[in-house]
Amino acid sequence: MQFLKVKNVDEVLEILNSLEPLPSEIMELGSACGRVLATEILAPEPVPHFDRAVMDGYAVRAQDTFGASEALPALLEIAGEVSMGEAVSRQIEPGKAMAIPTGGMLPAGADAVVMVEYTYPLDARTVEVTRTVAPGENILKRGEDIPVGEILFPQGWSLRPQDVGMLAAVGIDCVAVYRRPRVAILSTGDEIVPVSTPVLPPGKVRDINSFTLAAQIEQFGATVSYLAAVEDRLEALVDICRNAFQEHDVVVLSGGSSVGMRDFTVRILGAFADAELLVHGVAIRPGKPTILARIGKKIFWGLPGHPVSALMVCRALVLPSLAVLEGRAGTDLAQDHGSTLFGILANQLPSVHGRTDYVPVALARDGEALLVRPIFGKSAMISVLGRADGYLTVPAHVEGLDQGSRVRVYLFSR
Amino acid sequence: MQFLKVKNVDEVLEILNSLEPLPSEIMELGSACGRVLATEILAPEPVPHFDRAVMDGYAVRAQDTFGASEALPALLEIAGEVSMGEAVSRQIEPGKAMAIPTGGMLPAGADAVVMVEYTYPLDARTVEVTRTVAPGENILKRGEDIPVGEILFPQGWSLRPQDVGMLAAVGIDCVAVYRRPRVAILSTGDEIVPVSTPVLPPGKVRDINSFTLAAQIEQFGATVSYLAAVEDRLEALVDICRNAFQEHDVVVLSGGSSVGMRDFTVRILGAFADAELLVHGVAIRPGKPTILARIGKKIFWGLPGHPVSALMVCRALVLPSLAVLEGRAGTDLAQDHGSTLFGILANQLPSVHGRTDYVPVALARDGEALLVRPIFGKSAMISVLGRADGYLTVPAHVEGLDQGSRVRVYLFSR
C-alpha cells in the first residue's frame, strides 16, 4: 500500500466528489421527504386538471361584466350552482352565471369568477354584479400551476415537504431515490469501556465517539449501526471491519489518538487486498490524523480518537462523503450541512498558514450585532463542544482572523 | 361554544406558550439525540476521571524541567512506561519520568507531560528534556473537562450530537425526555381523492395536504399517522376525529377553504363536550381561516384547504405548538424552526396593516449580495412553494417593505 502526504481540505473534498452514488430504490411518497431523486421527474398530468375557481362567487363570461360597477351593476341570470368535487356538464351561455365555491370546476364557456363580495342575488334567478372581472380573474386555468410534461425536479434533488406535495398533486405516489448510506461505527482503544460500565476503572474512559458519531450521522439521515468498542488488536479489528463491510457501505473507525494509531489503522487496511488508501492525514485542526480509504465500492474512514476531533472531522468530511453517496447533486460539500449565519468575531484568532482550522464558537447578541466568541480549550475536552453553538473555519491560506471580522458560523443543529 | 374574533400571530403564539408539555419517558442514550430533556442533568462523575496526558511524551514533575533548554537539557531517569487504559500504581519521584501515550493515566507525583518532540532518550534508563513545562501542561486534570456535580444541561434542553457525547462521558446511558407529540393528519373535502387514483375524475383533485403536512411535521420530529381523506360529512368527520384523539395528542384537519368550511369545522368541535375554541381565524396571509381548539389535553388544528396556506400555517403555528408540547424551553416560537439568513429584498412588497404576511421567496446571488425575490402567484398554486427557497414575514404593524430592505428569510429545509 502506498503512503501519501497530508492533503488539504479541498483536495479531500475533490476526492469525495468523485465517489459514485449508491444504487437507487423505489420509495413510497409518504416516506420520500428528505430523500434524493435518482431520476429527473416530469409532470405526467397538469395541475389543476380543469379550470378551477380560486374564490367563492359566480362563474361568468368576463365580457358580460365589462363596465359593471356599484352604480351600474350587470344583471346575470343564475343558471344553477357548481357542487364542490363534481363535474359540470352545463355550459355558461352569454348573460348567465353559476354560483361556484372555491376549488369548484369552472363550467365550459365561463372564463372568470366574480367574488361573492361583488354580487347581490336579486331573486332565485338573477344576480347583480357590481364589478368588472377580466378573463382569467379568480380562476386557475388547467395546467396553470403545473403544466403537463414540465420538469418538476432534476436528478439529485432532495425532496422537501412542498416537493412531496408537488408529486402528490400530479399523482406520483412512488419515486426512485438513491439508497441511503448504511454506516457502521466502531470505537477502538484499550482505554475505552462501554458507557454503561457502572464504576469506571482507573485509566479507562467511557466510549464517547460511538454516541456522538452515530447521533451526527443519523441526524444527517444515514442509517447507523453502532458496533461495540473493540480493543486495539489488529486481528480483532480486521475481523470486525470485514464483517461490517458485509452489511454497510461505510465503516467509521475512531481510534486511539496516539502516534502509533494512525499507522495501526493503515495496517488494518493492509489486510484487505483491494484497499486503496485515498487520504492519509489532512491539513486540518483538529483532525490531522484522518484516514480515508476505498475498499472496492465501500468507504473506510479512520478518525482521531479525541471526541472533539472525531466529531469535527465527521462534520467537515464524513457527512460530505455521505452526501455524495446519497447522490445529492451540486452540493457545496464544504458548506451545505446544517445552517449557517454571519456574525462579528469577538476575539483575535491566530491560525497557521497551510492548515484549515475548525474553531468551536459561542454566539451572543450585542444589541443589533451577533458576537462570535471562539471557545478555547484543550482539544480533548468534550465540554468545549457542549458550550459551542457552532464553529467557524479559518481557511488554509489565511493566517488568523482579526477581531471584528465578519465570519460565517456553521451551526450545530439539534 | 363561544365565537371569537380573529387573533393576531402574537396572540396565538402566547396561547401556544401556555400549553403544557407532554409526559416524559425514559430514552436510551443512543436514541436521545434531538429529544428534549424533562429534567436538569448534573454530572455524576468527573471527566476525565483521572489526570490524563493529552500528548505523547513523558510524565514528569514540572519543577524537574525548570530551566531546561536545547543548550542545557534536563536529564531524567526513566522509571518505566504508562500503558494505555491501565492504572498506574507507581509514583514519580523527583528526577524521574515515565513514558506516557496521549490519553494515558498520569502517575502520582507527576503534574505535567513533556511532548515527545522535546525529549531524547540517551539510553534505556535516561531521557534528555530540552524544554521547560509548567505544572498542568499537556495534561487534563481530573474533572477539568467536566467537574463532578456540574449542571450539564437544564430542563428543556434539546440534545445535539455533542450533548449526547457529554452524557456518555459521565456514564449516563438513559435520560428522561418529553414524549414526542403524536399527530394525526386528516384531509377533508368532497373534491379530494387519494394520490394513487389512476385517472383523476373531472372536478376532483389529489390529496396534497396530507403529504405536505405529514412530511413537514415528521421533519420536525413528531410522530405522524396519516389518516385517509374523508368527505365533508359532519358525522364521518366527528367519528374519525374521536378515534384519532384516542391515540394522538394532536389532530390536524385541513379542510375545504370555502366560506362555509370554517363554520363546518367549528361544528365538528361542537360534537365534543369539552372542546374549547382557542382561536377562530388568524390575521395572517395566507391562512386566515385557521382554527385552534383544546379538547381536554388534546389539541385540534383546523387548517385551510389550500395547499400553500395549509403548509405555511403548519410552519408558522402548528410546528410551534408541537415544540411547546415537546417541552422545548425558551423557544422563540416564531423563529426557531429551521434556519434563517438575511438578504436584500429585490422588489417592492406591498402588505396590509394589521395582518402578518408570509411571503414565499427565491434566493439568488448578486456578487456579494444575496437577493431575495418574492414569488408572486395565486395562493392555490403548490408550484409557488416548489419554486421557493424559503419565506419572509411582513409583520402586522408594517405596511409593506421597500425594495432594498434587509430581510430575514426562513429557509425551507430538506
| DSSP structure string for A102-167 | TTPBPPBT--EEEEGGGEEEEETTEEEE-S---TTTTEE-TTSSB-TT-EEE-TTPBPPHHHHHHH
**What pLDDT sits at residue A334?**
47
What does the buried/exposed string (b/e) look like for B66-94 if buried means 16 or more CB atoms within 10 Å of the residue's CB? eebeeeebbebebbeebbbbeebeeebee
Q: Which residues in chain A are closer than 8 Å to B86, comparing Cβ atoms?
A: 190, 203
Give the separation between CA A90 and CA A87, rounded to whole angstroms: 9
Among chain A residues, CA nearest to B377: A145
**A258 and A162 share one domain:** no
**What pLDDT sits at residue B279?**
94
**What pLDDT sits at residue B338?**
57
Is it the case that residue B379 has pLDDT exceeding 90?
no
Contact A254, A213 (CB under 8 A): yes
**B125 and B193 share one domain:** no
**What pLDDT sits at residue A104?**
93
CB-nearest partner of B414 from A50, A160, A203: A160
- Does residue B2 form part of some domain? no
Report the candidate in B161, B250, B87 with the shortest Cα–Cα distance to residue A193.
B87
Tell me the residue length of chain A: 414
**B312 and B199 share one domain:** yes
**What pLDDT sits at residue B81?**
94
Q: Which residues in chain A are closer than 8 Å to B230, comparing Cβ atoms?
A: none
CB atoms within 10 A of CB A10: 14
ipTM tops the 0.90 cut: yes
- Does residue B94 form part of some domain? yes
Contact B388, B360 (CB under 8 A): yes
Tens-digit pLDDT profile for residues B258-277: 556 667 788 889 999 999 99
| Last residue within a domain, chosen from A299, A325, A351 | A325
Give the separation between CA A232 and CA A187, rounded to whole angstroms: 9
Is it the case that residue B170 has pLDDT exceeding 90?
yes
Contact B282, B12 (CB under 8 A): yes
Rounded to an integer, the average pLDDT of A54-68 is 95
Structure-block grid coordinates of residue B23: 409526559
**What pLDDT sits at residue A260?**
62
Which of B77-91, B251-265, B292-306 shows the lowest per-residue confidence on average (mean pLDDT)?
Answer: B251-265
Is it the case that residue A9 has pLDDT exceeding 70?
yes
Judge: A85–B204 Cβ closer than 8 Å, yes or no: yes
**What pLDDT sits at residue B216?**
95
At residue A178's C-alpha, the angle toward residues A292 and A246, to 5°, is 50
**B223 and B105 share one domain:** no
Report the candidate in B217, B148, B216 with the shortest Cα–Cα distance to residue B181.
B217
CB-nearest partner of A168 from B102, B104, B207: B207
Residues 6+ apart with CB under 8 A from B310: B209, B212, B213, B254, B287, B303, B304
From first CA to last CA, the distance across chain B in angstroms is 40
Q: Which residues in chain B are closer than 8 Å to A84, comparing Cβ atoms?
A: 189-191, 203, 232, 256, 258
Give the separation between CA A226 and CA B405, rounded to whole angstroms: 49
DSSP A87: -
If you count residue pairs, one on A and one on B, with CB atoms under 8 Å apart, how many are there?
A: 298
DSSP A316: I
Q: Domain count of chain B?
A: 4
Structural domain of B393: 340-411
Could you check whether the bond before residue B286 is cis, i.e. omega within 30 degrees of 0?
A: yes
Q: For residue A153, give the CATH number of its domain.
A: 3.90.105.10
Share of chain A above pLDDT 70, in %: 94
Structure-block grid coordinates of residue A69: 360597477
Q: Which residues in chain A are closer than 8 Å to B167, comparing Cβ atoms?
A: 211
Contact A277, A293 (CB under 8 A): yes
Beta pairing class for A96-100 and A74-81 = parallel
| Last residue within a domain, chosen from A295, A325, A355 | A325
Judge: A201–B87 Cβ closer than 8 Å, yes or no: yes
CB-nearest partner of A85 from B105, B203, B382: B203
**B300 and B232 share one domain:** yes
Judge: A203–B414 Cβ closer than 8 Å, yes or no: no
Q: For residue A383, give the CATH number of its domain.
A: 2.40.340.10
**What pLDDT sits at residue A223?**
95
| Last residue within a domain, chosen from B325, B355, B379 | B325
Judge: A192–B85 Cβ closer than 8 Å, yes or no: yes
Judge: A162–B311 Cβ closer than 8 Å, yes or no: yes
Tens-digit pLDDT profile for residues B33-55: 999 999 999 999 999 999 999 99
- Does residue A1 form part of some domain? no
Q: Which residue is it, cell 444515514?
A: A222
User: To the nearest whole angstrom, how far is the Cα of B12 from the nearest Cα of chain A?
Assistant: 24
**What pLDDT sits at residue B334?**
47
Q: Which residues in chain B are closer than 8 Å to A146, comparing Cβ atoms?
A: 382-383
User: To the nearest whole angstrom, how far is the Cα of A322 from the nearest Cα of chain B?
Assistant: 15
**B64 and B125 share one domain:** yes
- Does residue A334 form part of some domain? no
**A361 and A406 share one domain:** yes
CB atoms within 10 A of CB A308: 26
Structure-block grid coordinates of residue B63: 519543577
User: Phi, psi at residue B243, to the nearest 5°?
Assistant: -65, -45
**B165 and B120 share one domain:** no
Is it the case that residue B107 has pLDDT exceeding 90?
yes
Could you check whether the bond before residue A46 is cis, i.e. omega within 30 degrees of 0?
A: no
**A205 and A165 share one domain:** no
Tens-digit pLDDT profile for residues A166-221: 999 999 999 999 999 999 999 888 888 999 999 999 999 999 999 999 999 999 99
Half-sphere exposure of B379 (CA within 13 A, CB side): 22
User: To the nearest whole angstrom, how far is the Cα of B213 from the nearest Cα of chain A?
Assistant: 7
Among chain B residues, CA nearest to A55: B258
- Does residue A188 form part of some domain? yes
CB-nearest partner of B190 from A84, A232, A381: A84
Rounded to an integer, the average pLDDT of B353-371 is 90
Q: For residue A82, give the CATH number of its domain.
A: 2.170.190.11
Tens-digit pLDDT profile for residues B191-225: 889 999 999 999 999 999 999 999 999 999 999 99
**B118 and B256 share one domain:** no
**A121 and A263 share one domain:** no
- Does residue B145 form part of some domain? no
CB-nearest partner of B168 from A162, A207, A216: A207
Average per-residue pLDDT for chain B: 91
Judge: A161–B215 Cβ closer than 8 Å, yes or no: yes
User: To the nearest whole angstrom, how far is the Cα of B163 from the nearest Cα of chain A?
Assistant: 6
Q: Which residues in chain A are closer than 8 Å to B379, comparing Cβ atoms?
A: 54
The DSSP secondary structure of A245-302, one letter per residue, reads HHH-SEEEEE---SHHHHHHHHHHHHTSTTEEEEEE-BSEES-TT-EEEEETTEEEEE
**B315 and B365 share one domain:** no
**What pLDDT sits at residue A175?**
98
**What pLDDT sits at residue A256?**
55
Which of A93-102, A154-163, A258-267, B17-26 shows the lowest per-residue confidence on average (mean pLDDT)?
Answer: A258-267
Give the separation between CA A384 and CA A19, rounded to whole angstroms: 33
Among chain A residues, CA nearest to B160: A414
Q: For residue A259, give the CATH number of its domain.
A: 3.40.980.10
CB atoms within 10 A of CB B332: 10
Judge: A196–B146 Cβ closer than 8 Å, yes or no: no
CB-nearest partner of B219 from A34, A341, A342: A34
User: To the nearest whole angstrom, how far is the Cα of A262 from the nearest Cα of chain B?
Assistant: 13
CB-nearest partner of B412 from A162, A381, A412: A162
User: To the nearest whole angstrom, how far is the Cα of B3 from the nearest Cα of chain A?
Assistant: 22
CB-nearest partner of B105 from A116, A203, A232: A203
Residues 6+ apart with CB under 8 A from A121: A78, A127, A128
- Does residue A332 form part of some domain? no
pTM, two decimal places: 0.93
- Does residue B147 form part of some domain? no
